[in-house]
Amino acid sequence: MSRAARRLAVAAAIGALACGDISAPVRSDLYEWRLEAPAVPGPGLDTLSFHWAQEDLPVRVWVEDAFGLPDHMARAIDVWQGSFLYGEFAAHLVSDSATADVIVRSGTPEDKLRRQRLHSALRPECAGVTDLDIDVASRELRLPIRVFVDPRSLPDDPGIEPCLALTSIHELGHALGIFAHSDRPEDIMFVDPEVDLPSNRDITTAEAAYHTPANLQAVRP
């Protein structure tokens, strides 16, 4: 190989290294994550969307120490944090419920707290509910978001732990901004999911929620 040919080959190799971009996947397989609520003033429906702003992170989550819920919710936080590529969501457990953005309790909610209620994970062993206090007129989401995880069976029921684990992930999915349910059982955000972890479709939906402007603003008391 002549000297000129070698130089040309080296230049071509460096050029090949220096050029070209990574190619991102097309993310089109997702479901509606926004909440439809009666418009104020009516008539019709408002589509409400929410995600935690960067300045709100990490979201503070208080969990009642019952039925292993702190461990389940800590894992749910890890699972959702790991679903994002660019630090869109982060949360941690706190010991003082007065400072929490999300409060997780066992059992069922009292009706007087109800504003927007998302019933979920209606398995025989356990169930979950997320209550959102939304003022549609002012477009405010009043914190804290209240999550209830209800163990419906005895602690030695072999199905209770998996049910609590997936229900924790599902309800935290609501608390991070997926305010609607998927229409497919293979998504963790289906009302009664057949899976234990977020699917690619759940992740794509969560990404869409965090990269689309929100029209609800979190307001602390």
Partner 1 sequence: MLKPILIPALFLAAGAGPLHAQVDYYARAGAMWASTLVRDVLVTEVTVQQSIAPMIALGAGMPISPGYRAGVEATVASGGYSAEQDGADADLGTLRTASLLLGLDGPVVQQLRWRVGLGGIFYLPSEDQGIFLEGGPIRFVAGAGADWRHPVGSEWDLMVSARYDVHRFTTEELEQRGFSQAQSVNRVSLSVGLARGIR
The answer to the question of residue 88 lying near partner 1 (CB under 8 A) is yes
- Which among 1-9, 126-134, 179-187, 202-210 is the span making contact with partner 1, rule CB under 8 A? 202-210
Distance CA 52, CA 172 (A): 12
Peptide bond into 43 cis (omega under 30): yes
**Residue with smaller CB distance to partner 1, 32 or 133:** 32
Distance CA 71, CA 125 (A): 18
Distance CA 45, CA 35 (A): 10
Is the CB of residue 208 less than 8 Å from the CB of residue 34? no
4, 85, 98, 154: residue in contact with partner 1 (rule CB under 8 A): 85
The answer to the question of residue 82 lying near partner 1 (CB under 8 A) is yes
* Interaction mask 49-68, partner 1, x per CB under 8 A: -----x--------------
- Which among 44-52, 77-85, 107-115, 140-148 is the span making contact with partner 1, rule CB under 8 A? 77-85
8, 11, 13, 113: residue in contact with partner 1 (rule CB under 8 A): 13
18, 28, 156, 158: residue in contact with partner 1 (rule CB under 8 A): 18
Distance CA 140, CA 189 (A): 24
- Which among 78-86, 111-119, 164-172, 185-193 is the span making contact with partner 1, rule CB under 8 A? 78-86
Is the CB of residue 102 less than 8 Å from the CB of residue 91? yes
The total of other beta-carbon atoms located within 10 Å of residue 167's CB is: 29
Considering the complex, what minimum distance in angstroms separates the CB of residue 87 from partner 1?
4
**Residue with smaller CB distance to partner 1, 138 or 212:** 212
**Residue with smaller CB distance to partner 1, 86 or 156:** 86
Q: Which residues of 129-154 are buried (b: 16+ CB within 10 A; e: fewer)?
A: bbbbbbebeebebbbbbbbbbbbeee
1, 4, 5, 24: residue in contact with partner 1 (rule CB under 8 A): 24
Amino acid letter, residue 150: D
- Which among 63-71, 113-121, 186-194, 204-212 is the span making contact with partner 1, rule CB under 8 A? 204-212
The answer to the question of residue 212 lying near partner 1 (CB under 8 A) is yes
Instruction: Give backbone dihedrals phi and psi of 219, rounded to 5 degrees, phi first.
Output: -125, 125
Q: Which residue from 23, 108, 29, 34 is spatially nearest to 64, judged by alpha carbons? A: 108
The answer to the question of residue 3 lying near partner 1 (CB under 8 A) is no
Interface positions with partner 1 (CB under 8 A) = 13-14, 17-25, 27, 54, 81-82, 84-88, 207-208, 210-212
